[in-house]
């Protein structure tokens, strides 16, 4: 009996335990773990799901997750943007820690486009993307400078080495001959009309360059010159992350002119005299009697200039709100004295999910900058003779009678007694200049510019339906600019009055953008529709005042001036205001079928106040198509092929970058003579030299782009190739007009310009192992520019520079060509001149040792008809290459870039001092018939012969190759940093312009430099160099800390 009871108890217990086991199994298994990256950094927001089910969760701010799986045999899938997804069987484990591999070749990467984003694999236009986590470590003061050589078709030229100055930026060449050729800059969706000056490189998340018309047509009348979109960093779902970045660097001049000092020059002349040449004049002989040597190039330069940068950022957030806050301080000295740039900027970026349907965001960025510019050109320094001291010494005071320590000027030495080596006394004037020495000029004239900027915007997204989103974005951009110039008495020459000039500009830009975006997928059909409108208003107020004749230079404010200058050679007292409006409607359709067949079309209409009532509105359509051939069954079999995409696009964009009110004649102040006594009465009249045109309209650029994208070998090789052909018509041009009209020019839409070229971008991941990675990025671009039409039957147009050098715009040729006389060496002897029977009607007396001009029309007469096109300032091709190497905790990056077959006009050759003491112009020069030198280099010859700058003798090949950036960094192991409470610590060294090689016949010191003011601000006058500052070589050291 007891046995039966026991058996029953065992049976009941077995049944009870079985039910509990089944219940436990039915409740599933709880799995926990932490998800990190390769560097053991927790990943926040990783999707963790059970395959084949709807069960899922995400990791928290510590990278931790907890999930209940239905079976011990379940499989967990871990997926995260930018990382390789991975499936891991549970196999009954309760703890599973996961390390995700970064997917640097992700084909589903998103690319920012106009008013949205798009999968990179589905692009049908030509868009280049660039991002670099160490971009802010480069020792440059501007973002655009850091992009040099990084993107195909984006040409960035540092026209000056002055601190803080904006480089010249062009996308796919020169498209306009009178309006601006600068691309549109868009920062976080806001068009920035003054470029990238306010963007801190440490804040940049990504940069996209929209190059073809199909990509830029959505920006309508502002898209013809390309669009650069900058996206700044935003907060993410993470605990607060603090970051500090800092570097300090030192700059030196890469190369200076190789100059003869005063004694060397006189000795050379004396040696040439023994060879039948022209000996030194009595003025030049006096140089050896002045006991002084000054290296004037170094007097104009800092021995060491410094750059310092510090940035602090804070980011983080939760699922409902994210934030990014940063502040930056930059101090940058140029190698030229009195060239300084200081910038302070902040950025606050907030994003919040108010509900499942409503999201809002705020972006605020204030910036302050100060830029000081030198008041003397570098030419003035290097062409000053070495015998002249900066300040009088005891020796020069004895000659001139000027006080010791006072500034020394060339005129002080004129008509003074000098003693030669034999003790002979003679009177001479060493240098016939009335100008003060350049160091005294730069010390006595200050030029400071202060900029205050504030950019703010706010957006609201409302999900009307699951796939219908309304966005409104409204913002402003305010810039207030002050410029102060003070010019001491006797600054530039004796008797020069003192003056102060103050100008300011208030720029207010208001923008409202409102869009609807509808997305839908039906079967294999996927489409996205965008529609919206924008309203933009800009108001600019300018004011200036100039005071003269200050009683003392110690009080520099204009209230101390004895006189206010109303008008004096353009320096005047004035105020003016102007406004412009731009109203736009836009729409875009993006479609794909089965992710293989791609199509996009857009249209935008702009109405601008810049144009008259007859042509205020313009339409800018575009279409593009693509084929992901790699998705076809016959190509999917190729294992090594990851993606092959063919693209074609066409579109029309516009350019409205002309002055306001070009369509209207304006009134200026003027005097009227009235009455029999011819009394002057003040009034208003149209005294402008440019006649308005009420029918003026948009420039229109029609562009076709063909391209393909290839990803192969497990996406280790990425290749993009584009061919483009664009024609810009109805060029906005200030056309010369007949004098009988009372005007010199008038605005008109005439002419056509064509640009075509090829662009190649190649990225290869050469080695990718656990402790060693090496990747290479290479880009190459060509651009061929042609002027197709000038209008009204004109075949050519001549423009002039400061030395009367000529720039030719000729139909069927590049839009800019140098125009002048071709030379064939020099005249060797008088008999050669006589035997030529040439009648020279231009230039000065032809003598042996002067330039031999080619008689192009073979009529034995040298005149203006012998001028020909001599070359152009456009490079044949540009390229860039960057290598990134990572070995364990070390990283090495080095970038080369090059510009080839580009011609510049060396304006320094105009100066007699250059011809005398610059070895680049004096080596192997003509001395006499018996010593003709190399037969190509002319003698100074007292200014005889053809003016150099009117010939090809001053045209030089400014091609160069540069090791632009070199960076070596070390990342401290994270395990050791935990003891210090740090997440990251990296130190690095950088070198900029470590190597800079130019070749050919270039005789300057900076092949990138260009003169861009005065006549040279015209798009049709380019390639002129004068007084170029040296290239800067920079070494810096920095660190990055996060915690």
CA distance to 331, 335, 683, 762, 946, per residue, from 964 (Å):
21, 17, 57, 19, 39
Query: In angstroms, what CA-CA distances link 613 with 526, 618, 662, 663?
Result: 41, 12, 12, 9
Q: Is the per-residue pLDDT at 715 higher than 90? A: no
What is the DSSP code (8-state) at residue 937?
A: B
- How does pLDDT run across 552-567, given as a tens digit for each residue? 999 999 999 999 988 6
- List, in order of start, the domains of the chain with CATH numbers: 2-99 (2.60.40.1120), 110-233 (2.170.130.10), 257-300+389-430 (no CATH)
pTM above 0.85, yes or no: yes
Dump pLDDT digits (tens) for 491-503: 999 999 999 999 9
Tell the residue number behind the tokens 């009335």, with chain if given.
434
Q: Which residues of 127-137 are buried (b: 16+ CB within 10 A; e: fewer)?
A: bbbbebebbbb
228 beta partners: 185, 209
Give the model's confidence band at 979: pLDDT under 50 very low, under 70 low, under 90 confident, else very high.
Answer: confident
Which tens digits make up the pLDDT trace of 469-528?
Answer: 999 999 999 999 999 999 999 999 999 999 999 999 999 999 999 999 999 999 889 999
**What is the pLDDT, as a whole number, of residue 104?**
52
Q: Residue 941 pLDDT more than 70?
A: no
Contact 338, 373 (CB under 8 A): yes
Q: Please tell me the distance from the alpha carbon of residue 301 to that of residue 321, in angstroms, as a whole number.
A: 51
pLDDT grade, residue 316 (50/70/90)?
A: very high
pLDDT category, 249, cuts 50, 70, 90?
very high
**What is the reported pLDDT for 203?**
94
798 pLDDT exceeds 60? yes
- Closest by CA position to 121, among listed 775, 626, 760, 695: 626
Nearest CA-CA partner of 378 in 852, 1032, 1040, 1039: 1032
- pLDDT the model gives residue 246: 97
3-state secondary structure 966-1014: EEEEEECCHHHHHCCCCCEEEEEEEEEEEEEEECCCCCCCCCCCCCCCH
Position 15 scores a pLDDT of: 42
Position 537 pLDDT exceeds 50: yes
Per-residue model confidence (pLDDT) at position 138: 92
Q: Among 413-422, 724-733, 761-770, 834-843, name the one with the lowest average pLDDT.
A: 834-843
- Count of H helices and E strands in the chain? 14, 60
User: pLDDT grade, residue 35 (50/70/90)?
Assistant: very high
Higher-pLDDT residue of 294, 16: 294
pLDDT number for residue 744: 84
Which residue would you say has higher pLDDT here, 22 or 775?
A: 775
Confidence grade of residue 770 (pLDDT, cut at 50, 70, 90)? confident
Question: How far, in Å, CA of 797 to CA of 789, rounded?
Answer: 11
pLDDT in tens, 253-272: 999 999 999 999 999 999 99
pLDDT single digits (tens) 433-471: 999 999 999 999 999 999 999 999 999 999 999 899 999
**Confidence bin at 872 (pLDDT 50/70/90):** very high
Least-confidence region, from 81-90, 256-265, 444-453, 912-921 = 81-90
How far is residue 507's CA from residue 159's CA, in Å, rounded to a whole number? 26
Task: Record the tokens describing residue 936, joined without a space.
Answer: 């190509």
> Does residue 247 or residue 974 have the better pLDDT?
247
> Is residue 497 exposed (0-12), middle (13-18) or buried (19+ Cβ within 10 Å)?
middle
pLDDT tens digits for range 207-246: 999 999 999 999 999 999 999 999 999 998 888 999 999 9
pLDDT of amino acid 791: 76
**Closest Cα partner for 926 from 916, 936, 918, 912?**
936
d(CA 154, CA 147): 9
Compute the distance between CA of residue 476 and CA of residue 508 in angstroms, rounded to an integer.
Answer: 7
Residue 583's contacts (CB-CB under 8 Å, 6 or more residues apart) are 533, 534, 535, 536, 606, 607
Q: What's the confidence (pLDDT) of residue 538?
A: 96
Identify the pLDDT of residue 22.
40
Mean pLDDT of the chain: 91
Lowest mean per-residue pLDDT among 115-119, 902-906, 958-962, 967-971: 115-119
pLDDT value for 568: 52
Tens of pLDDT, residues 347-358: 999 999 999 899
What percentage of the chain has pLDDT greater than the value 90? Answer: 73
Given this model, what pLDDT does residue 5 score? 43
The C-alpha angle 1004, 1009, 1011, rounded to 5 degrees, equals 110
Res. 2: pLDDT tops 80: no
Residue-level pLDDT at 254: 96
Residue 452: CA count within 13 A, CB half-sphere = 7
Q: What angle do CA 229, 230, 234 make, to 5 degrees?
A: 135
Closest to 129 measured CA to CA, from 139, 115, 119, 137: 119
Contacts of residue 613, Cβ cutoff 8 Å, sequence gap at least 6: 694
Sole residue written with tokens 């104009």: 300
Identify which has the larger pLDDT, 746 or 350: 350
Which stretches does DSSP call E strand in 524-667?
525-548, 563-564, 567-568, 571-572, 574-593, 597-608, 617-628, 641-655
Q: Which two tokens stand for residue 302?
A: 């800092």
Spatial distance between the Cα atoms of 135 and 147, rounded to a whole number of angstroms: 9
| Helix (H) / strand (E) containing 15 | helix 2-27
Give dist(CA 436, CA 373) in Å, integer.
19
pLDDT above 70 as % of the chain: 96
Let me know: does 176 contact 75? Beta carbons within 8 Å: no
DSSP character for 493?
A: B
What's the average model confidence in pLDDT over 697-726? Answer: 94
- Summarize the confidence of residues 362-368 as an average pLDDT: 96
């Amino acid at each position: 009996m007891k046995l039966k009871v026991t058996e029953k108890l065992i049976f009941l217990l077995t049944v009870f335990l079985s039910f509990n086991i089944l219940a436990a199994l039915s409740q599933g298994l709880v799995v926990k773990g932490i998800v990190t990256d390769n560097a053991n950094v927790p990943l926040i927001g990783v999707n963790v799901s059970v395959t084949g089910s709807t069960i899922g969760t995400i990791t928290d701010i510590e990278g931790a997750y907890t999930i209940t799986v239905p079976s011990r045999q379940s499989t967990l899938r871990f997926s995260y943007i930018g990382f390789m997804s991975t499936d891991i069987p549970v196999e009954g484990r309760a703890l599973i820690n996961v390390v995700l591999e970064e997917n640097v070749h992700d084909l589903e990467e998103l690319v920012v486009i106009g008013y949205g984003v798009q999968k990179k694999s589905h692009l049908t236009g030509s868009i280049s993307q660039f991002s670099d986590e160490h971009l802010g470590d480069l020792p440059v003061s501007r973002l655009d400078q850091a992009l040099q050589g990084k993107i195909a078709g984006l040409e960035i030229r540092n026209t000056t080495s002055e601190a803080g100055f904006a480089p010249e930026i062009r996308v796919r060449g020169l498209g306009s001959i009178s309006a601006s050729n600068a691309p549109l800059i868009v920062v976080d969706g806001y068009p920035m009309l003054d470029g990238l000056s306010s963007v801190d490189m440490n804040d940049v998340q990504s940069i996209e360059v929209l190059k073809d018309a199909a990509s830029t047509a959505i920006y309508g009348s502002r898209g013809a010159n390309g669009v650069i979109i900058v996206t700044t960093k935003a907060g993410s779902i993470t605990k607060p992350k603090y970051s500090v970045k800092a570097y300090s660097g030192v700059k030196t001049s890469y190369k200076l002119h190789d100059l003869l000092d005063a004694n060397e020059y006189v000795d050379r002349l004396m040696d040439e005299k023994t060879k039948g040449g022209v000996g030194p004049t009595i003025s030049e002989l006096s140089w050896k009697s002045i006991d002084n040597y000054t290296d004037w190039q170094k007097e104009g330069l800092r021995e060491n200039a410094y750059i310092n940068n510090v940035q602090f950022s804070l980011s983080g957030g939760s699922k409902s709100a994210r934030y990014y806050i940063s502040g930056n301080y930059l101090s940058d000295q140029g190698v030229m004295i009195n060239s300084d740039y200081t910038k302070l900027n902040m950025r606050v970026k907030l994003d919040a999910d108010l509900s499942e349907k409503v999201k809002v965001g705020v972006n605020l960025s204030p910036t302050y900058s100060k830029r000081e510019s030198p008041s003397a050109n570098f030419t003035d320094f290097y062409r000053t003779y070495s015998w002249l001291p900066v300040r009088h010494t005891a020796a020069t005071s004895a000659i001139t009678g000027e006080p010791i320590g006072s500034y020394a000027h060339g005129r002080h030495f004129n008509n003074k007694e000098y003693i030669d080596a034999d003790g002979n006394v003679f009177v001479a004037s060493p240098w016939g200049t009335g100008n003060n020495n350049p160091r005294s000029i730069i010390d006595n004239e200050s030029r400071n510019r202060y900029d205050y900027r504030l950019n703010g915007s706010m957006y609201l997204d409302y999900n009307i339906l699951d796939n219908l989103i309304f966005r409104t974005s409204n913002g402003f951009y305010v810039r207030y600019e002050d410029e102060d110039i003070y010019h001491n008495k006797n600054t530039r020459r004796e008797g020069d009055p003192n003056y102060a000039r103050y100008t300011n500009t208030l720029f207010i830009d208001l923008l409202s953008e409102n869009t609807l975006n509808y997305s839908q997928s039906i079967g294999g059909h996927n489409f996205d529709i965008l529609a919206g409108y924008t309203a933009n208003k800009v108001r600019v107020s300018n004011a200036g005042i100039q005071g003269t004749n200050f009683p003392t230079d110690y009080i520099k404010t204009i209230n101390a001036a004895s006189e206010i200058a109303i008008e004096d050679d353009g320096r005047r007292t004035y105020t003016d205001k102007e406004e412009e409006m731009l109203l736009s409607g836009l729409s875009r359709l993006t479609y794909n079928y089965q992710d293989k067949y791609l199509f996009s079309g857009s249209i935008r209409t702009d109405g601008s106040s810049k144009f008259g009532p007859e042509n205020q509105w313009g339409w800018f359509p575009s279409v593009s198509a693509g084929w992901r051939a790699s998705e076809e069954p016959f190509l999917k079999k190729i294992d090594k092929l990851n993606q092959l995409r063919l693209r074609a696009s066409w579109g029309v964009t516009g350019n409205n970058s002309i002055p306001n009110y070009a369509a209207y004649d304006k009134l200026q102040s003027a005097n009227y003579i009235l009455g029999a006594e011819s009394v002057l009465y003040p009034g208003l009249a149209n005294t402008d030299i440019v006649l308005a045109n009420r029918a003026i309209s948009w420039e229109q650029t029609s562009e076709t782009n063909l391209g393909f994208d290839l990803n192969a070998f497990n996406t280790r090789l990425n290749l993009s190739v584009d061919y483009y052909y664009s024609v810009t018509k109805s060029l906005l041009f200030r056309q010369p007009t007949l004098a009988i009209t009372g005007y010199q020019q008038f605005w008109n839409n005439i002419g056509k310009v064509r640009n075509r070229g090829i662009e190649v971008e190649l990225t290869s991941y050469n080695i990718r192992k656990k402790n060693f990675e090496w990747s290479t990025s290479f880009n190459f671009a060509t651009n061929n520019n042609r002027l197709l039409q000038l209008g009204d039957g004109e075949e050519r147009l001549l423009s002039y520079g400061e030395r009367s050098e000529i720039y030719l715009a000729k139909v069927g040729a590049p839009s800019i060509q140098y125009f002048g006389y071709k030379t064939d060496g020099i005249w060797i002897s008088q008999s050669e001149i006589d035997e030529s029977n040439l009648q020279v009607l231009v230039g000065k007396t032809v003598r042996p040792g002067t330039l031999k001009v080619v008689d192009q029309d073979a009529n034995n007469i040298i005149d203006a008809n012998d001028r020909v096109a001599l070359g152009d300032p456009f490079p044949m091709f540009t390229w860039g290459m960057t290598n990134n190497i990572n070995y364990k905790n070390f990283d090495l990056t080095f970038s080369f870039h090059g510009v080839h077959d580009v011609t510049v006009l060396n304006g320094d050759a105009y100066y007699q001092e250059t011809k005398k003491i610059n070895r680049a112009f004096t080596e192997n020069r003509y001395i006499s018939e018996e010593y003709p030198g190399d037969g190509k280099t002319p003698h100074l010859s007292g200014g005889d012969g053809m003016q150099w700058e009117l010939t090809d003798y001053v045209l030089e090949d400014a091609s160069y190759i540069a090791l632009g950036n070199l960076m070596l960094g070390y990342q401290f192991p994270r395990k050791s940093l935990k003891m210090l409470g740090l997440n990251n610590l990296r130190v690095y060294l950088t070198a900029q312009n470590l190597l800079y090689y130019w070749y050919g016949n270039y005789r300057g010191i900076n092949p990138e430099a260009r003169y861009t003011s005065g006549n040279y601000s015209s798009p049709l006058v380019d390639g002129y160099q004068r007084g170029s500052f040296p290239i800067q070589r920079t070494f810096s050291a920095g660190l990055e800390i996060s915690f």
